[in-house]
Structure 1
Amino acid sequence: MDDSPGLITTPLTDDLVRGALDVERTARGALLPHRLPARARAQFGGDEQVAQAETQPSGVRLVFRTRATAVEVDVQRAVIGYRGVPPRPDGAYDLHIDGEPAGRATASGGDLVTVDLSDGSQETVPGPVGTVRFEGLAGREKTVEIWLPYTEITELIALRTDAPVAAVEPGGRRVWLHHGSSISQGSAADSSATAWPALAAAVGGVELINLSLGGSALLDPYTARALRDTPADLISVKIGINLVNRDLMRLRAFGPAVHGFLDTIREGHPTTPLLVISPILCPVQEETPGPAAPEFSEEEVQFTALGDPSEVALGKLTLRVVREELARIVAERAADDPGLYYLDGLELYGEADFAELPLPDRLHPDAAAHRRMGERFGAYAFGPGGPFSAAP
């Protein structure tokens, strides 16, 4: 698109993007952030859910220094919707100035991808390029961060400002690498910057890389290798909910899979503080195995568990079983790995929280619950004596 009056265009380059593990130059010359590296993307077997999740840029942001008072970003977004369900609000682009929230905007246009939850099929309707604009910024030198929406695939096409911009050299803050499910990716949070890991990162004053994959935190080896190969000062993995609601494995396979996942991470990070987090409360799957399935009622989606509780004795997983097994595994490994820690997810969101802030779709916490979880994790992990404190 042409320059707006009074604005100059800065070429979009990889060094302006933070929080992504790879940046692809698309056919239209845009930057497409990926949260899995190319090697991993070649190994997930064409799974559309993984492909969608890893290109939804949770925790990914444009970062630069400038005196600009106006900033525009052209984007080609892909908006994900679900057949029979009202469309979600447009994804939020959060503006931070020198680390503090300073505005929020949305983009128009974009492709519409409609998913049929009954069979996983998708239909795409192309749409035009949109523009995100922020104005009225202070004319001083400052660090600008624009957090991209966790709900939308975003191609970055053009950056325009009314003053020159410069990339910010990385460094100065510890890097926290986190992996989890859609709850960690953002689920029903207001934005990427207000998903619980981003809020916790702000408490800890750390640089977040959010490698959370909606529906796909499944102990996959390619994910473990991505964690292994990514430089980080702090690492956490939130394990369990997707394994249960996909009914992916039995208890016999779960334990060895967790060991293998942690072993792979430790190959690249032998002494890095590594925190294993079990699932938060989800009543429909506490005692009932998966699979989980959506139910449609008055144009709303709610999830239910289809398994038989009697099958737990045969090795089927529930959230209670997962928590017990993770606690046991971490306790045993910690005897030889003093940098390994365990956090019961019920400490982040438990029964009292559910009574006050119930899960709207029976599976994902809402924006208020994300704020509570972020505050609690921040206080626990980064506070005095916490596993991510300066002196744990």
Structure 2
Amino acid sequence: MIQKIAACMIVFSACFFSCKNSPSVESIKEDELFSLSYGRFEDQLNMFDLADIGNVHTSMTMRDGFFYIANGEAQKIMELNSYGDLLTLYYNETEDASETQTHESAASKRKAIAYPFNNPGSIAVDSRKRMYVVSTMPKERQEENEKGTLLYSQIILRFASDGTSEDYIGQQGIGGTPFPFIKNIYTTSNDELVVVCITTEGTIVYWFSEAGFLMYQIPILIKDAPKIPDAKAGANTISVLQDVIPDCTSRKLFVKVDYYEPRIDEDSKTEAGIDFVKTYIFPLAVESGKYGNPVAVPPYEETISADYGKLVFRLPYDFLGVSNSGWLFFIISTDTGFGIEMVQPSGQKVIKRHFNVMHDDILYYVLSLSDSGIISALFIEKEKARVVWWRTDSLSAAIVKS
């Protein structure tokens, strides 16, 4: 899942670049599914103050055509169908007394479940409709270092398909200590939970069984990031560990590393910045801890006219996720919408498409990739919020059949 503030994503991280004359790429039609108004009622999003959009804490995921929106500003979670009908509402009854009355009056039409949320964040749902939500521990249970810097404060809440609250998950499993900062959470086809955390030293991945027991803890440190496979001898390449996302169907992680090299000013012979070189995805077997053969990810390119020639700018995509058919999805924000790239793990097939989106109308957005390969978006606009999707799953299916 990628979350963004427009003109900055979800989250994303995604680069915004405004060049012209880029090569023509086929566009995919956006399907608007439904919209949500702003307010304090149960079927509305409460954004409080859209002028303070930099502090938005709203996330979304889609599973089997159902949308789950964690509205942190209102301390609630909404489950909706693809028509925008509210099916289940998880709400903090101490957040707003008037909202609680509204929930109770509508109980005959939809399920309303009270829970004392504390800043709900990223959300994931497995095949049994068990819901996992990132939440913050109460202040007295958070962990700090000797300087008072917050170290561990987040946990994963679990809700059964009937809405029943289950024990929370921490680092060691059920009832464990809080996690470091959680970048995102995922569920696999085996209904296993994967938690990706960020620390000053790199990424730590926690892999849990269906029952919530810790099976693997995988540190992926910045200092140990894989070197560029085709580096020239003595090349001063800089490795940037950009993202780690689990596979849907096997116990494997995909590690995205972007590579840069210093740019030397010809006149002063000194470093004048860094230039992007290449992106590789490294598959990492969780059980053995060994990397497989890397996959090169073609960069996003923009071409502009300059004086009597043309300049080609190459930028790395953001890693959006992996579908259950094995396709790797990448995305980048452009001046006219989003560029999307789908890559087979073998690297043999690459699909590039474009989504037309008016960024000027969007204050904040969240992007989500379903396990079936559909990209969904929640667009926070001035007057309302819109939920849309792009049926990118049909592209991969067509390739498989061909």
TM over 0.5: no
The structure richer in helix per residue is: 1
The structure richer in strand per residue is: 2
TM-score calculated relative to the size of structure 2:
0.28
Structure with higher Rg: it is: 2
